[in-house]
A and B are shown apart, each in its own frame.
Chain A
Amino acid sequence: MATVAVPQLSGYHRPAVLDWIMTVDHKRLGILYLYFTLFFFAVGGILALLVRTQLAVADNSFVGNDAYNQIFTMHASAMLFLFIIPVWAGFGNYLVPLQIGAADMAFPRINALSFWMLPPAGILMFAGFIVDGGAADGGWTAYSPLAQQTGVGMDMWIIAVIVLGMSSTIGAANFLVTMFRMRAPGMTMFRMPIFCWTMLVTALLQLLATPVLAAALVMLFIDRNYGGQFFDPNGGGNVVLWQNVFWFYSHPAVYIMILPGMGIVSEILPVFSRKPLFGYKAFVFATIGIGGLGFSVWAHHMFTTGSVLLPFFGFMTFMIGVPTGVKIFNWLGTLWGGSISFPTPMLFAIGFVSMFLIGGINGTYSAAVPVDFALHDTYFVVAHIHYVLFGGSVFAVFGGLYYWFPKIWGRQLNERLGKLHFVLMFVGFNVAFFPMHMLGLDGMPRRIAVYADSAGWEALNMLSTGGAFLIAVSMIPFLIAVVMAFMRPKDQPDDPWEANTLEWATTSPPPDYNFDSLPPVRSERPLFDARHGDEAH
């Protein structure tokens, strides 16, 4: 082809580092997102280990109260704002253009801008540890008046989160335009891969909810620095106002954090069950339903404030369990009667389904207002959030990494190490977080640094700490597998898994321009159609 000759005309080759810094290629930006977010997963994980070490025994003085407050605040902030939310942008960046058969995102340079807003924000947020008064310590929820009383690290946190929000807002607009307008011929909306659909709904939530968080943070900043009275009852303000605006973003944000994970699982399960996804359209409408209902349940975080309409928000919270339940049946129906194999990505996907189910059930349980009054701000809630965000999202992240590793890096991760990773992480996860249910029912409040010996919480806390360290240990086989993979040549074929979607129709890794040619798209499984030809119809 004539195009092959073009690079040879140029005598100048940029150094590889500059190539990465100046890239506008969606695949390279996707990889940068993955490196960045996995780095902060490690940072947030280390902070979690500090939290668990402090809580391992009663009356512990491993870290002081002030340091503890900073550590759990920054653990949550790193995991939510610097890991889970942007890691989906990483997968989305790499995969969405490939899955819809496009050459790149709609706005490649805005895409680069979205990524490059992250490192300064991450640095700013963590620079709080070196300023007077320390890092933000009001919890990731930054409730007033607590968030009014802390040091300058809180202001740095506010600015960092606003910048991260801008990044995800413009990124969301980019994803939406890409999926609405850049699809290959034949790729109708209802033939888009499920992962794209979940990214689409996620992008809509980000576009519409994140600016509200920006407004809330701006108000908090004005209150802290310019004498504003938004959240100060002395001047006619209202502390519950913060909770309302904050959760108006942060509840949809939990769907921002889980929907793409559901998408990844819905890509993996059909491939290793050798069946199409059971109920494709039902899954799409369930995703849209979760997105829509997601805007009407924020006040279930505020039942005990006494200033929200309990029956409405309780009912809506039960309602959102319905589309979520639909998805569980989608996944079970996909497995049902399938010719199932269990490579590592499949293990993580099944781990997701089972753990997310527990997280969904204990979430619906707390949707009942009287139950919530008893459980509010106890470790039961901590158990719930980790069953959906770790048992859900993090399992999906690793499932996705094992599944797309051959496509992204052209090499396969070692299967034995992968299975060891899964088993250690699955056991460690349940040992770490299941006891928190019991601790919560026993009345242990969240966010306390020290508990008395007489409370009787030590044994379960020690167990939980052991589980947390087991999760940390599970990363060792993963890292060995990654190093081993990078020591091998790129030997992966286009489609090592016999998968369904278009990203497997090009080389591994794909060329800069993605596709030499595309197979015809006549269903949501164009590669299956291409492999089996007319016999399938």
Chain B
Amino acid sequence: MAAHGTAERQGMTNSMLGFILFLASEVMFFGGLFAAYFIARADAPAWPPPLTPEQIAEGVHLELEVLLPAISTGILVLSSVTMQYAVWQIQKGNQGGMLWGLFISLALGIVFLAAQLYDYTQLHFRADDTIYGTTFYTLTGFHGAHVAGGALFIAVVTVRALGGQFTAENHEAVEASSMYWHFVDVVWIALFTVLYIIK
């Protein structure tokens, strides 16, 4: 009866491997969106693309302010650090330290989302204003949705942490949520670089 093959092997657990594979599929999803952006940008006669007289009359202009998103980037990177701090703390069995890490990461994530929403209200173009607007809102919108999903993930982990469910040996959900958070962080750094920095 011992030969059932159900006993888990040494090393990574099934759930963690499954989660990493899920992240791989997420990478490919963003890969598809990024590819579309690069193809569109490479094909454009100028970037940002030229506007029609009607669009100019409506006050559309394709420009991005860098300052606020730069601060947001710093906030998101910082939240990745605090998230990793939470993982390191629970690996040592320090539940209090982990909770602080989770709280701060969650708060920083919410600040990032709020800053992005505010930034949207300050822009002078919409999703239907050339491929520039379409790609900008699609990429940042899907990223924002993933940040919101990640924040929800951290919130669930935080509630479970408050219930004392994690120990130095058993804290897979904390590690998984932190991996997810690093993933959305890395995607943002790539987005910030191509959308805001590279002219």
Contacts and interface: CB of A to CB of B under 8 A. Distances in A.
A101 B1 CA distance: 12
Nearest to A235: B130
A184 B9 CA distance: 11
Contacts of A320: none
Interface residues of B, number: 41
A106 B18 CA distance: 9
A106 B28 CA distance: 23
Interface string B44-59: 1000010000000000
Contacts of B163: none
Interface stretch (A78-86, A222-230, A480-488): A222-230
B21 interface: yes
Interface in B6-31: 6, 8-9, 14-15, 17-18, 21-22, 24-26, 28-31
Contacts of A238: 39-40, 43, 131
A207 B21 contact: yes
Contacts, number: 150
A24 interface: no
B156 interface: no
Nearest to B46: A236
A136 interface: no
Chain B interface, DSSP helix/strand/loop, else mixed: helix
Interface in A207-223: 207-216, 218-219, 222-223
A280 interface: no
B143 to A, nearest CB: 13
A229 B131 contact: yes
Nearest to A1: B1
Contacts of A183: 5
B117 interface: no
A308 to B, nearest CB: 12
A150 interface: no
Interface in B116-166: 126-135, 138, 142
Nearest to B32: A215
A229 B3 contact: no
B17 A177 contact: yes
A514 B5 CA distance: 11
A346 interface: no
The 4 lowest CB-CB distance pairs between A and B, nearest first, are A227-B128, A215-B32, A184-B5, A211-B29
Given A227-B128, A515-B3, 19 more contacts: A101-B4, A102-B4, A184-B3, A207-B24, A209-B28, A210-B25, A211-B25, A212-B29, A215-B31, A215-B32, A216-B36, A219-B33, A226-B128, A228-B138, A230-B135, A236-B49, A236-B130, A237-B40, A518-B4
Interface of B: 1, 3-6, 8-9, 14-15, 17-18, 21-22, 24-26, 28-33, 35-36, 39-40, 43-44, 49, 126-135, 138, 142
